[in-house]
Homo-oligomer: A and B are copies of this chain.
């Protein structure tokens, strides 16, 4: 018999397993499968958009089952199984096809992918929502908000010195962060749908905004490149090569989001500069921050973030995203913090 205690332990394991993935176009999700005595026999997680969902990942690890055995199994998932064919097929159908007898999930899906629980019940599977879903909700609180606000999930990258400078007064800034940090940031680029920079960054740094491996090869998935601002971009800029880019002539972050939605960009990475990053932070549109810090004190030059704050209570508060496995990491000589905004009370 599977006890309530077994279910609680399975949910805790599923939450921890979920942290191995990356939040973005899709939420973090973890799944566990228990046998009829409540023993954990498989776990699964969702690595990120384009990869198998957690339920399918867990089922895959089980191997082939006969239907009598499958019927005795219980799946515990941090999020209601999807009922939606996106880059992968619907999980509810995969669970039903595998013949699993019972499903518990923590958080209801109220997005376009909802309806999984209802579908499972229609296929004769005992399906319940777990009562205590606070941790599972916290796991994706900003992702749910981005869906509610009908906009991309937004990642802001800050790369700075210990004293939060992004350059010296004469503009020198190249290689503030380590090679390992830059490789990590390229991994981030390879997971998003679009990258945004301001015209100043485009003109001054002339970035390619491509996602490259350590060896300089292009990742299989490349982000769409967006430049925000009014200044003219010369055709010699590196990011202008190819068709997958455009300039959005605005200083309004909401116009950028509208255009990202039109383009179907579900995960947007804000690469800077400080003005663009600050505009998204100030508008409470930064769903997560990656803050790369190089161990140096520059002592002058531009700050990574500038906000119209006058008093401390207006500061934007975050927490280490400890649901993810990368919340505080050394990258060569650098450190990296992965943060999320504190949920509203």
Contacts and interface: CB of A to CB of B under 8 A. Distances in A.
A330 interface: yes
Q: Which of A176, A295, A301, A306 has the most CB of B within 10 A?
A: A295
Contacts of A169: 309-311
Interface string A287-315: 00001000111111101111111111111
A190 interface: no
Contact of A299 (B173, B295, B307, B337): B307
Given A307-B297, A320-B330, A315 B161 contact: yes
B173 A312 contact: yes
Interface in A114-171: 158, 161-165, 167-170
A86 B282 CA distance: 56
Nearest to A169: B310
Question: How many copies of the shown chain assemble into the complex?
Answer: 2
A110 to B, nearest CB: 29
Interface residues of A, number: 49
Given A162-B164, A328-B328, A335-B328, A295 B317 contact: yes
A315 B299 contact: yes
A297 to B, nearest CB: 5
Output the residue of A278, A303, A312 with the most chain B CB within 10 A.
Answer: A312
A339 interface: yes
Interface string A163-207: 111011110111010000000000000000000000000000000
Nearest to A167: B312
Contact of A297 (B281, B301, B313, B328): B281
B300 A306 contact: yes
B168 A295 contact: no
Of listed A158, A174, A300, residue having the most chain B CB within 10 A: A300
A299 B281 CA distance: 10
Given A168-B312, A176-B312, A298 B307 contact: yes
A181 B320 CA distance: 15
Contacts of A291: 162
A337 B328 CA distance: 11
A308 B297 CA distance: 11
A307 B169 CA distance: 11
A305 to B, nearest CB: 5
A224 B50 CA distance: 61
**9 shortest A-B CB distances, which residue pairs?**
A299-B307, A164-B164, A172-B312, A295-B318, A163-B164, A168-B312, A296-B315, A163-B305, A300-B309
